[in-house]
Structure 1
Amino acid sequence: MAVAAALTVAGCTDDGEPPAAASAPPSVALSFAPGAAGAGDPYFPAYGNGGYDVAGYDLKLRYDPASGRLEGSATITATATQDLSRFNLDLAHLTASRITVDGQAATGRADKNELVVTPAAGLVKGRAFTVVVEYAGKPQPLNNEALGVGGWQRTRDGAFALGQPESASTWFPVNDHPSDKATFALAMTVPDGVEAIGNGVPGRKDTAGGWTTWRWTETKPMASYLATVVIGQYRVKTSTHAGKPMVIAVPESLPATGPAARSLDRTGEIADFLAARFGPYPFDAYGGVVIDDNRVGYALETQSRPVYGNVFFRTRPNPTVVAHELAHQWYGDSVALERWQDIWLNEGFATYAEWLWQEHVGEQTAQQAFDRTYRGFDWQVPTGDPGAERLFGAAVYQRGAMVVHALRRTIGDEAFFALLKEFPAAHRDANATTEDLIAAAERASGKDLGDFFEGWLFGRTPQPRP
């Protein structure tokens, strides 16, 4: 974890003593304790927090590209999952000036990249509560030595917030782990003539005093790392597809009809192709954003509006990467990770979606893609437990796709394509694990697949071709 800048809160001290109970029935014995300073993920124990479950984030922010300063407020609605004396929010490099819990002043202190909040009264298990944090500063990214830079990054004409496995804490207070999904609303105020693109359905734009407020709403629960905002000089094209808004943004630095724009213009077509295989599109909006910045050498499945580095479109259109990120809207976004170890559920199925798309357009069959990948593959890293430093390696993506294809060959097309729809339908707007996928595959096929998955997910030697 990167070191955090100092964070101060007016009147914020913490003596460690549990506060008084809040509206507790006299017959109930309460035992208030602090929420855990981490969600307990085996790969990233410090990510996220315990003691509460977030229902929604509502951000009202203002960003000045000239100074790099971000300021505003975050309103967080949540429910206590224990008798809670205090709780943590993830917040890096930003300074909170005022915190309230249910309208009452709360105290807080900084602890590395955490904001530790002590409400005026203890929060009883099962109680819904609302936190408002007013904060400001110049956001900075987080640098994971093994996985790279993620989070808020300033640009010449704006900024963007993007990254995996962590990003959100660099621009708003958050329970930053995918196991705690929540709805998301953003009102981002920027100077007139600057665009601000976020997740979900676009809302009303207001202009006053040389500033414009852009509004975005994602009403389906979302993992925190999938939240994004992209600020700068963009051509924003808004249309509808299948009765839902589609927003595509390409930077003005790129040609209006160049490879990037032509690739994203196929978003609706590709989403429809995937819907025929995975079931109905799971969100209320479509779209995509291209970032023309050498620091972004990847694409990310930010919910309802994937973000693509222009590296994919340097010389020609690339609808295959669009297929990959759109497949994540089912596998990775609507059905999110419960723990980072299971990232193959995201990347294996999205990579296999590339193979299905390539077969659809006549580039190669899924079997040919499997055969090319299988030849000479290094099996030393297990797909089902790659380790935190190899979250984005070949064992997760390419071998993950081979697992999916081998499963298809093992259970047959009828059961396989039924599974492709049944699994995201069963876990829509929720989380899932490898064990959930195995159980679903066994139900769909009527077969005991324990040995199959043990070998393909965890074996360190080449698996027999199915």
Structure 2
Amino acid sequence: MRLFFSVLTVAALLAFGPPAVAQLPTYQAVSADLDGSAAEACARVHSSPGAARPAYASPGHRQKMDHYDVRYYKLDLRLTNTTRDVSGVVTLQARTGTQALDSLAFELYSTYTIDSVVVDGRRSPGLTRRGPGDVTVGLGQAVSPNTLFRALIYYRGTAPNSNAAAIGNALNTRVAPTYNVSTTWSLSEPYNAYEWWPCKQVLTDKADSSEVWVTTASSNKVGSNGVLRRVVPLPGNEVRYEWKSRYPIDYYLISVAVAPYVEYVNYANPAGGPRIPIVNYVYNEAALADYRVAIDRTPGFLEYYSDLVGLYPFADEKYGHSMAPLGGERVGSGMEHQTMTTQDSFGFTLTAHELFHQWFGDNVTCGAWQDIWLNESFASYGEYLSLNKFSTPAFTRAWLDEAHASALSQPGGSVFVTDTTSTSRIFSSRLSYKKGATVIHMLRYLLNDDAKFFRALRTYQTTYGGRTARTRDLQRIFEAEAGRSLQYFFDQWFRGEGYPIFDVSWNQANGLVYLKNTETTSMPMVTPFFNTEIDYRLTFADGTTRTLRLAQYQPVVSAAVPESRSVTKVEVDPDQWLLNTANPVVRDGGLITATTAPATLAQLSVYPNPCHDQLRLADFSGARAQAEIVDATGRVVLRQMVLAANPVLVTVSLAPGLYHLRLLSPDGSVARVRFVRAE
């Protein structure tokens, strides 16, 4: 989900070359019978100031809803493009758990009238309603354990003007600025689907398939999820749009958009996949003329993302956009409804962000709102990837600088969401979008291998596609690629707060460049130290440069690097890989005596890695050396003399985790390597 349109985005649009040639074919609906089949919003988000929204179901009601597993939803509703009135029937098909079900619990806003509930052909004898949305329906006959059942919920009313969703109401009606088109659309994230249809709002219980049928005036079109099976003319100048999807879907990603749209279709052709229609419902011909060039960038984004992280996950159906004035007068907002994003405009980074959500947020959805970064940070990083591919280095760096500036604008705050009752905290632009995107960038830097980084993302998609995931799941996948524990990284950057502050000094003498980095942090009481590697760029008198990558394994690190060329400048993290601030780098003539041990940059080779009781040094050529093992907090946990006759370290006393080994030779040289003590 995203709100507002940045200056950078406008500039990037103006900077790019000619768009792909657009096509206007007729969209062919694909047949899909989902009846009875058992076969997640987006960059800076608006919420009402200071609003704190609970997950509406009470704990007891949530327990009741856990007694069944949703398999299928069908919404058959009557909607207009000028009001928030809703009427119709929602079909819920589910399977009971290990206990018989004698009542059915679901959520629906309290002001709606429920005319009846029919379960497996039997009308419910009664229902009870508590709080803003808890509904419990008695069953005339209990449903046996591990049994499929079907409930039809007939209801009517007007969606509330609550302004409680991530952007506005769960169901909204507004006249689009500039184009003067009245539009009704849904936006249910995070807890607000129940404001327009009866449902179970539990992230981990995706429906296996869904249908959305909407009856409206014949002048309107209706955008929704999946494939448009039929458009059925009805008496009274009405029409019914029938959309169906075979893919698993979370409750908040089911959507509608109703307006007298014009339809514009173009196609993506991802490598190794089918030709995918991109179905765009645009306000009118004037809007299409304004946005057609921008819309035509979508196929390139989809093809590029498919190359990076795997084929578009809903390739057998479609992708598309429904326009709606989400942000009112300020354009630049969107919501990643599955297979058909709702957007108020087509800015470069907005379209890129929402499309990347189809992988990160829709195909794999965060399993708890505490982990919203798995949706929003990755979609934000999709903006960066797209700029890097299709834009210029200047615009790409500007995006990264802007992300860093946002994340660094306050000293504290974790990517992990501690207060999931606050919509504004869940969708914090600074933490859930920008800081999280920098954490992903740092994971890429940590692996130091793009093949491994993108393989990890593809593995995440194939492992958890159609399901939900938590941060620990992503962590395990990256640990497999790294070949070591990354607990320290996620403790620092996901659950921790703040960022490192580097104070670097340097000197050059006797063919050596001396470096000293003293690290403090912005939130020392929460995260006292960030264990990381850092790039240092040396600029020489002749204008050439050399980049060093050194470990900051403790708060104060000194190194001496052989270098005969005359250094004129030293820069810290010049390519913005790390979220940090750095004081001005200064030359310190006293650093020669303070730093006496020259560092060799060649990595020491050790095995086995991960190890258990012993760690052997390969190709150890010295007679003896002092070994120091440093843990993730920078503490020396083991010192041992290593002899050439038996170059082995005894590691049985170490706790499982990541360590740094420093090998200090009698001649003052230093070799370093990281290793993992396995469980």
Task: Output the TM-score relative to the length of structure 2.
Answer: 0.58
Q: Which position in structure 2 is the counterpart of 1:309?
A: 344
- 1:84-109 deviations in Å (ceiling 9; x for gaps): 22232111132111111111111323
Alignment partner of 1:151 out of 157, 170, 175: 170
Answering whether residue 124 of structure 2 is matched by residue 95 of structure 1, we say no
2: CA distance, partners of 1:249 / 1:64: 16
Decide whether aligned partners of structure 1 residues 68 and 383 sit closer, same or farther in structure 2, where only a CA change above 3 A counts: closer
Paired amino acid for 2:313: P
1:329-340 aligned at under 5 Å gives the runs 329-340=358-369
Decide whether aligned partners of structure 1 residues 341 and 68 sit closer, same or farther in structure 2, where only a CA change above 3 A counts: closer
- Cα contact 1:152–1:167 (8 A) shared by 2: no
Decide whether aligned partners of structure 1 residues 379 and 436 sit closer, same or farther in structure 2, where only a CA change above 3 A counts: farther
Q: Which position in structure 2 is the counterpart of 1:30?
A: none
- Cα contact 2:107–2:133 (8 A) shared by 1: yes
Residues 209-218 or 376-385, more deviating: 376-385
2: CA distance, partners of 1:176 / 1:218: 19
Q: Which position in structure 1 is the counterpart of 2:69?
A: 53
Any gaps of 5 or more consecutive residues in structure 1? 1-41
1:147-296 aligned at under 5 Å gives the runs 149-155=168-174, 157-182=182-207, 183-209=209-235, 210-242=237-269, 243-252=275-284, 254-259=286-291, 261-283=292-314, 284-292=317-325, 294-295=327-328
1: CA distance, partners of 2:332 / 2:155: 31
1:50-129 aligned at under 5 Å gives the runs 50-65=66-81, 68-83=84-99, 84-92=101-109, 93-106=111-124, 107-111=126-130, 112-129=132-149
Q: Which position in structure 2 is the counterpart of 1:10?
A: none
Q: Which position in structure 2 is the counterpart of 1:355?
A: 384
- Cα contact 1:264–1:288 (8 A) shared by 2: no
Q: Which position in structure 1 is the counterpart of 2:539?
A: none
2: CA distance, partners of 1:379 / 1:202: 49
- Cα contact 1:196–1:232 (8 A) shared by 2: yes
- 1:56-75 deviations in Å (ceiling 9; x for gaps): 10121222456653221111
For residue 256 of structure 1, give the secondary structure of its aligned residue in structure 2. Answer: helix
- Cα contact 2:312–2:359 (8 A) shared by 1: yes
RMSD (CA atoms): 2.4
Decide whether aligned partners of structure 1 residues 338 and 125 sit closer, same or farther in structure 2, where only a CA change above 3 A counts: farther
- Cα contact 1:52–1:82 (8 A) shared by 2: no
Paired amino acid for 1:438: Q
- Cα contact 2:185–2:255 (8 A) shared by 1: yes
* Structure number with bigger Rg: 2
Decide whether aligned partners of structure 1 residues 372 and 91 sit closer, same or farther in structure 2, where only a CA change above 3 A counts: closer
For residue 382 of structure 2, give the secondary structure of its aligned residue in structure 1. Answer: helix
2: CA distance, partners of 1:274 / 1:386: 31
- Cα contact 1:253–1:292 (8 A) shared by 2: no
Alpha-carbon distance, 1:367 to partner: 6.5
- 1:101-153 deviations in Å (ceiling 9; x for gaps): 111111323223122111112233321111011111222244439x5633111
Paired amino acid for 2:297: R
2: CA distance, partners of 1:373 / 1:67: 38
Residues 250-259 or 321-330, more deviating: 250-259
Q: Which position in structure 2 is the counterpart of 1:436?
A: 473
Paired amino acid for 2:295: L
- Cα contact 1:149–1:163 (8 A) shared by 2: no
- 1:380-434 deviations in Å (ceiling 9; x for gaps): 1100235333111111100100110000000122211111111111101011000
Task: Output the TM-score relative to the length of structure 1.
Answer: 0.83
Decide whether aligned partners of structure 1 residues 247 and 305 sit closer, same or farther in structure 2, where only a CA change above 3 A counts: same
Decide whether aligned partners of structure 1 residues 129 and 142 sit closer, same or farther in structure 2, where only a CA change above 3 A counts: farther
Percent pairwise identity: 26
Decide whether aligned partners of structure 1 residues 442 and 68 sit closer, same or farther in structure 2, where only a CA change above 3 A counts: closer
